[in-house]
Amino acid sequence: MTTVGIIGAGAMGSGIAQVAAKAGNEVVLFDTNIEALELSKTKLAKILARLLEKNRMTALETEALKSRISYATRLESLADSGLIIEAIVENLEIKKGVFTALETLVSEGCIMASNTSSLSITSIAAACKKPERVLGIHFFNPAPLMPLVEIIPALQTHDSNALKARNIIDSWGKVTVVTKDTPGFIVNRLARPFYGEAIRMLEEGVASIATIDWAMKEIGGFRMGPFELTDYIGHDVNYVVTETVFKAFFYDPRYKPSFSQKRLLEAGRLGRKSGHGFYDYSENAVNPSPNTNRELGGKIVKRILVMLINEAVDALFLNIASAKELDLAMTKGVNYPKGLLAWADEIGLELILNQLEELYANYGEDRYRPSPLLRKMVRKQQSFF
């Protein structure tokens, strides 16, 4: 077992610390904010108490886990770490500064990773004198519960370090996928149409918030509807990721953010955390009921699903990851009912292409352009699996 350093005692950092400690590692959780460290310690105690109460851990195991996590306010405390995972604010310049300071303190063999969900790992690595040991290790929230972890080698990352990092995270009981260092990696890229196309239909007046959510759950089989999910994630997070991916893809219209979500963010309606988002979460609030017309629901699901599938096909076309890992990422990272490429095989690629071409003809927007790989596979009558 290696000593693991975690930078940032927020929800993600604390969750990763819990995962690493449960796997038997000594963990140093660093934050400059003493209050954040105390809050992290208190929350962990509550989580472990619940696990003990539900007989998921013994008293001995919970005490051992707690004893393996130490809390630090000095960066020097991470000097003996074999692996360090940074989980702080999504700001590239701040992250670069942390990595630059960090590499002067740690050993030659220490692997330094960022938990960023959308920023360039290559850019972070470029700030270091030894960029070959820098990579992305992206957990999903809540880290102790979500099985998927994306491993993102930078352009400079040495293969041996990427393999070593993946083996460590695998040993923690996680499901890992390796992805190319492109905006949004796998999950945050492929999932954009789930939110974006739902909001687009809302803005066009195709259906209400409640109806679109109902359709995606009842007919599509998704655990949460797009509006429920964005409210759960928080618009301060979800909108910013959309905006980041849009800018990073040189303003490709497929990732264009919406004014509807931007206005919610400007109004401070961040979702569940603020008591109001697309839905009203205040006490005694009554939210509108859905229109449960199954024909309308089917059209909603079809439109969002073909956009999701097209995004997955294009990611495969651009060698972001293998077909197997793209599907694994979406089922394990965001609990999709099926892998998008396997789903495409099931529906039929020609049918999906026809639906996309119909949308493209109706709107005349690049947002709906079918992936070249989809066209090629339809021509050759191929399937993904």
How far is C-alpha 16 from the chain's CA centre? 14
* Burial class of residue 53, CB neighbours in 10 A (0-12, 13-18, 19+): exposed
Cβ partners under 8 Å of residue 232, min gap 6: 224, 271, 272
Catalytic residue, from 25, 117, 238, 371: name it: 117
Q: How many other CB atoms are there within 10 angstroms of residue 212's CB atom?
A: 29
Q: Report how far apart, in Å, the C-alpha atoms of 350 and of each of 42, 193, 307, 316, 346 are.
A: 54, 20, 14, 17, 11
Is 150 one of the catalytic residues?
Answer: yes
Catalytic residue, from 25, 188, 310, 371: name it: 188
Please give the Cα distance from 135 to 230 (Å, whole number).
Answer: 28
Host H or E run for residue 152: strand 148-153
Is 55 one of the catalytic residues?
Answer: no
Half-sphere exposure of 359 (CA within 13 A, CB side): 25
Q: Checking DSSP bridges between strand 134-139 and strand 148-153, what pairing results, if any?
A: antiparallel
How is residue 29 written in tokens?
């959780």
* Burial class of residue 51, CB neighbours in 10 A (0-12, 13-18, 19+): middle
Catalytic residue, from 40, 81, 118, 138: name it: 138
Catalytic residue, from 26, 103, 150, 197: name it: 150
Cα dihedral sign for 35, 38, 44, 45?
negative
How is residue 119 written in tokens?
């920023």
3-class state of residue 194 by DSSP: helix
| Closest by CA position to 354, among listed 344, 339, 341 | 344
Residues tagged active-site: 117, 138, 150, 188
